[in-house]
Amino acid sequence: MDNNYHSILHVKNEVLLNSFPLDVFVHSVNVANIALSIGSLLTDNKVEQRKVYDAALYHDIGKSKIPPSILHKNGKLHHREWVIMAKHSLYSQELYLNMASNDTVNKEIGKVIRHHHENWDGSGYPDNLEGNKIPLYSRILKIADVFDAITQPRCYRPFRMRNAIDVMELMKGKELDPLLFEKSKGLLKILLEETYSKDTCNWMEAINI
């Protein structure tokens, strides 16, 4: 999709203007590509694919409003810090709608962004939605977000996981839409083998490092 390049440039400009963390930008581009691949399994409609891609690309832009001491903390967040961090999905929706034109499509994308941390069992945030009450594209974004998060190093976990699919299997029906995950699993296995398998280590091996 040719317009994806222009979306990336737009986000890159936001990175430069707002001191948006580079690692979050890279993660957002990764998640956008993964989400687009999953979305393409469900629909050939380019407009719908575009919604998935743009929501994923902008899903974490609200982290530009999170204090660096919390965003890049090495270790578990305290409750007060977690409450602040959890606001980033609301900030992302707000920032996206401030940048985008005020039309029905962008409002829909804004809602997808808002709900990308909702969990299938209703334990997520910001609105504790559950099951099919969570927008479909938010559920796609959740899978893509989790997959990239556990296959790439993090400030609180400086290693990757080789057994990402096994980890995600345990999240099925809890954090993740179980049917959507099953539909996506074959694609994720290919991505893990072709793109994410280099220099990775098993979770149980890595935890002892």
What residues are labeled active site?
63
The SS3 assignment for 201 reads strand
Q: Cα-Cα-Cα-Cα dihedral of 35, 39, 45, 49, to 10°?
A: -10
Is the bond into 126 cis (omega within 30 degrees of 0)? yes
**How big, in percent rounded to 5, are the helix, strand and coil portions of the chain?**
65, 5, 30
**Contacts for 76-81 with beta carbons within 8 Å, 24 or more apart?**
76/156
* Other beta carbons less than 10 A from residue 98's beta carbon: 9
The answer to whether residues 74 and 155 touch, using CB atoms and an 8 Å cutoff, is: yes
Q: How far apart are CA 90 and CA 113, in angstroms?
A: 8
